[in-house]
Amino acid sequence: MNPASSVIIFTVLSGMGLGYLALLATAHDYTGAAAFWHWAFAYALATIGLAASAFHLGNPQRAWRAFTQWRSSWLSREAWGAVLTLLAFAPLALSDWLGLGLPRGFGWVGAVLAMATVIATGMIYAQIRAVPRWHHWSVPLLYLAYALAGGCLLAGFRMPAILALVGVAGAVLLHWRVGDGAFARARSSLGSATGLGALGQVEIFEPAHTAGSYLLREMIYVVGRRHVKRLRVIALGVGVALPILALLVVPGVGGFGLAIILYLLGAFAQRWLFFAEAEHVVGLYYGRR
Amino acid sequence: MTCLPQKTDKALGLVIDLDTCVGCQACVTACKGWNDQGYGVPLSDQNPYGSEPSGTFLNRVHSYQVMPEAAAPMIVNFPRSCLHCADAPCVTVCPTGASYKRAEDGIVLVNEDACIGCGLCAWACPYGAREMDAAAGVMKKCTLCVDRIYNENLPEEDREPACVRTCPTGARHFGDLADPASAVSQLVAARGGYDLMPEQATRPTNKYLPPRKKDRPDQASLLAPLLDIKATGLAGWLDRVLGKLP
């Protein structure tokens, strides 16, 4: 699958922002100007991420229509989740800033909605049977782990951040382990795609077209996989191991700053791989995956 | 609404005969031609006469070679387009309601005025039946020529999809696959028509007919009786006399 940069930025930043918002609401009690800046930053992160997702649309002016199909579509559910989450945190953010004294328990509503939104993002991919690598519950888990780790890093919780990063490593390894054999387990082949497998071995004789097409650019994107091993090392080494080391070794805010930069590098590498490594079954018709 | 209908009154679709298809691409051209002027935005081309042409098509014809264990290899031409699945995964993923399956005849369509061009439906389709139009930014797919099949301004023989109408070898058939008495249903039953990628659980409406078994070189020719020519008259007498000579 084509790793569109807007979708990569969206999933990484909005996940991190939603995780941060959830922790601000449930585990912090900033007041006054500090509350304003923390909430504003968390809101900005989540909103920039969500706005970035609009850049891969063909007709973004109709994006409001994406709120209509929540009964069937995970993308629609995600849109609702994002808006409801941002609304649900608003009273608490105002209360923290202006000292209105809203009970802290209020934050849990937003936190649950935020995590549900992250899960919905994962389900957009996990629901797609035609991409066997994605069609598994480990995908929403992966998105959730990244959101929590990003949130803990921004919220400045040292031990929880380390534990959440270990969780990220576990989710990433599970996703890779399950994903690597997923295409074979899906039992789709050129034989089943053409139905000619019952007659004998099927091979490509001539392509349907010699020029490029939307399918080839979007679904049969093979270029990005050249550096899979290196990117996997970056995702786990730079994105998980080094941030943990930074948190353990470098004291104070500096450790968090370093860890956040490393975490983002790793998260972008992992998210690139998430798309680039994913093989769509339509590639079978073209003899390329 | 992008929930799928529980049941459709009809299941209009295509039956494609892989035995008869010669891979001439006439259906590809007819489809492109008709859908350049009818339903929704035209199928655009990008840089059509340049070094890297690209364009939107709703129907593509592949060629495969099949190598049976105990028979001669064969070339099979394989047209690929929307299968109008009963459990269409492209419909339920749509966030805007632009993608839908009609309850009356089972045709899967895109309401282009509601399409935001997110591309998720194309991801969800295992068959690569949907292509985003690069000029209009909306998703295009086979409409089963919904603007032909019910069009009373056309002569009756033209009220079928453009690809079916144009096929010079009669390899494409159009009809109601929910009706067991229909010509297409009987064709499927007689020839062992099958679904593509049944493991994807999409329950396609369109069916493909497998290539018929080919003759083997050691099998007697069907023409053998005709080749055994018995001469009559003078030629027959000569034949008998000459045959008796040592």
Residue pointed to by tokens 């490594």:
A277
Cα distance between residue A143 and residue A198, in whole Å: 40
Average pLDDT, chain B: 92
Nearest to B199 by CA among A57, A129, A8: A129
Calpha distance A102→A31 (Å, rounded): 12
pLDDT, mean of residues A221-231: 82
Which residue on chain B is closest to A187 by alpha carbon?
A: B199
Of B118, B76, B73, nearest to B98 by C-alpha is B118
Question: Could you tell me if B166 and B30 are in contact, meaning their C-beta atoms sit under 8 angstroms apart?
Answer: yes
Provide the residue ranges of all domains of chain B, joining segments of one domain with +: 12-209
The string of pLDDT tens digits covering residues B46-65 is 999 999 999 999 999 999 99
Of B94, B136, B210, the CB nearest to A199: B210
Q: Are A240 and B109 in contact (CB under 8 A)?
A: no
Cross-chain residue pair A202–B198, CB shorter than 8 Å: no
DSSP 3-state helix, strand, coil percentages of chain B (rounded to 5)?
A: 25, 20, 60
Other C-beta atoms closer than 10 Å to the C-beta of B134 total: 16
Interchain CB contact of A98 with B (< 8 Å): no
Interface of A with B in 220-279 (CB under 8 A): none
Element (H or E) spanning B173, and its range?
Answer: strand B172-176
Q: Does domain B12-209 have CATH number 2.30.40.10?
A: no
Tell me which chain B residues have a C-beta less than 8 angstroms from the C-beta of A10.
none
Average pLDDT over residues A211-236: 88
> Between B69 and B169, where is the model more confident?
B169
- Specify the 3-state DSSP secondary structure of B187: helix
With cut-offs at 50, 70 and 90, classify the pLDDT of residue A136. Answer: very high
Mean pLDDT on B96-122? 95
DSSP A110-157: HHHHHHHHHHHHHHHHHT-TTSTTT-STHHHHHHHHHHHHHHHHHHT-
B47 C-beta neighbours (distance < 10 Å), count: 12
Question: Which residue bears the tokens 């939603």?
Answer: A18
Amino acid A153: pLDDT: 95
Model pLDDT, residue B1: 58
Cα of A128 to nearest chain B Cα, Å? 5
